[in-house]
């Protein structure tokens, strides 16, 4: 259930960038940064050195912060689609249990 909530956060972050919505961007960016840092630190602690999901979360949070400072969201379309794909992947993986 917790992974579904985190997947929903990915979809919200991607949607904010794709739809040029500037609502609560700083809060979502902060949550994404914390999520990415926690993911990377915990994976490094387990000896897994390439946590691609954590890196995508950090890149997304940087993109959201830059978007909130006035950069146009059209610059971040690829990152937005990447985070939406990650959210869908995690959601399907959780629901289908594979």
Q: What are the angstrom distances between the C-alpha of 6 and each of 31, 93, 98? A: 10, 13, 17
Pairwise CA distance, residues 47 & 69, whole Å: 36
Per-residue pLDDT of 41-50, as tens digits, reads 999 999 999 9
pTM equals 0.91
What pLDDT score does 81 carry?
97
* pLDDT tens per residue across span 25-78: 999 999 999 999 999 999 999 999 999 999 999 999 999 999 999 999 899 999
Confidence of residue 10 (pLDDT cuts 50, 70, 90): very high
Give the DSSP H or E segment for 84. helix 77-96
User: What's the domain count of the chain?
Assistant: 1
Q: Half-sphere exposure of 29 toward its Cβ, with a 13 Å CA cutoff? A: 18
Q: Quick one: tokens of 17?
A: 């960038």
Give residue 87's domain range: 2-96
CB 32 within 8 A of CB 64: yes
Contact 80, 18 (CB under 8 A): yes
pLDDT at position 1 is: 87
pLDDT at 23 over 90: no
């Amino acid at each position: 259930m917790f992974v579904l909530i985190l997947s929903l956060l990915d979809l919200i972050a991607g949607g904010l960038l794709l739809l040029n919505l500037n609502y609560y961007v700083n809060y979502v960016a902060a949550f994404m940064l914390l999520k990415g840092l926690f993911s990377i630190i915990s994976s490094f602690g387990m000896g897994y050195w390439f946590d691609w999901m954590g890196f995508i979360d950090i890149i997304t949070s940087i993109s959201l912060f830059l978007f909130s400072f006035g950069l146009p969201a059209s610059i971040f379309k690829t990152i937005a689609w990447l985070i939406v794909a990650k959210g869908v992947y995690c959601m399907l993986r959780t629901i289908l249990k594979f």
